[in-house]
Structure 1
Amino acid sequence: MKKTDRQMRVTPKIWIGLLIAVGYLCIVIPIQKLSGVSYEDFGASADNLLRSAIASMAAGAVALIIVASLLGWWRSALFDNTQQRLNYKWLLISPLIMLIGIFVNFSSTNFSQFDGKFIFILIVFGLLVGFCEELTIRGLLLTSLRSRLSEGWVCIFSSIIFGLIHGSNILLGQAIPVTLMQVCMAALSGVTFYLVRRFTGSLIWAMLLHGLWDVSVFMTAYNNPDGNGTAGLLSLTADLFSVIFLIIVFRKLKNAKAKQLS
Structure 2
Amino acid sequence: MTETPSPQAVRSPRVQPSVGAALVLYAGYLVLFYVTWVVNRVDYMTIGQTADSARLHYALPTLFGSAFLVVMLSVFGWWRITLFDHQRSGPAWAWLGPALMFGIAASSFLLMRRESATPALVLWCVLGGIGVGFGEEMITRGALLVGLRARHTEIHAWLMSTLLFSALHVPNALFGEPVLAMLGQLVMTFLFGSLLYAARRLSGTLLLPMFLHGFWDTSLFLPRATGSDPNLVAIAVYPLAIACAVAVVRRQRGLRLGAAAGRSMPGEVHQREQRQP
Opposite residue 243 of structure 2, the aligned amino acid is F
Q: 2:24 aligns with which of 13, 19, 40?
A: 19
The answer to whether structure 1 residue 123 and structure 2 residue 126 are counterparts is yes
Question: Which residue number in structure 2 is paired with residue 46 of structure 1?
Answer: 51
Distance 1:65 1:176 in 2: 33
Is the Cα contact below 8 Å between 2:112 and 2:228 reproduced in 1? Answer: no
Query: How far did 1:226 drift?
Result: 7.2
Question: Which residue number in structure 2 is paired with residue 189 of structure 1?
Answer: 192
Query: How far did 1:7 drift?
Result: 2.4
Q: Relative to structure 1, is the Cα distance of residues 113 and 124 closer, same or farther in structure 2, using a 3 angstrom cutoff?
A: same
Distance 2:122 2:219 in 1: 11
Q: Which has the larger radius of gyration?
A: 2
Distance 2:21 2:69 in 1: 13
Is the Cα contact below 8 Å between 1:98 and 1:234 reproduced in 2? Answer: no
Is the Cα contact below 8 Å between 1:100 and 1:234 reproduced in 2? Answer: no
**Residue correspondence of structure 1 range 33-182 to structure 2 within 5 A:** 33-81=38-86, 84-86=87-89, 88-182=91-185
Describe the superposition over 1:28-83 as per-residue Cα deviations: whole angstroms up to 9, x where unpaired.
001112212212211101111111222212211111011111111110001112xx
Query: How far did 1:238 drift?
Result: 2.9
Q: Structure 1: where are the runs of 5+ without partners?
A: none
Question: Which residue number in structure 2 is paired with residue 207 of structure 1?
Answer: 210
Q: Relative to structure 1, is the Cα distance of residues 143 and 204 closer, same or farther in structure 2, using a 3 angstrom cutoff?
A: same
Is the Cα contact below 8 Å between 1:97 and 1:237 reproduced in 2? Answer: no
The TM-score normalised by the length of structure 2 is 0.86
Is the Cα contact below 8 Å between 1:28 and 1:60 reproduced in 2? Answer: yes
Distance 1:80 1:133 in 2: 18
Distance 1:58 1:243 in 2: 29
Opposite residue 241 of structure 2, the aligned amino acid is D
Query: How far did 1:19 drift?
Result: 2.5
Distance 2:182 2:217 in 1: 16
Query: How far did 1:142 drift?
Result: 0.8
Moved over 3 A (4+): 223-227
Q: 1:218 aligns with which of 217, 221, 229?
A: 221
Name the count of aligned residue pairs.
Answer: 254
Is the Cα contact below 8 Å between 2:58 and 2:125 reproduced in 1? Answer: no
Opposite residue 8 of structure 1, the aligned amino acid is P
Instruction: Indicate the RMSD between aligned Cα atoms, in angstroms.
Output: 1.8
Query: How far did 1:200 drift?
Result: 1.2
Question: Which residue number in structure 2 is paired with residue 254 of structure 1?
Answer: 253
Opposite residue 247 of structure 2, the aligned amino acid is F
Question: Equivalent residue of 2:168, what SS?
Answer: helix
The answer to whether structure 1 residue 236 and structure 2 residue 238 are counterparts is yes
Distance 2:210 2:28 in 1: 20
Q: Structure 2: where are the runs of 5+ without partners?
A: 1-7, 271-277
Question: Equivalent residue of 1:174, what SS?
Answer: coil
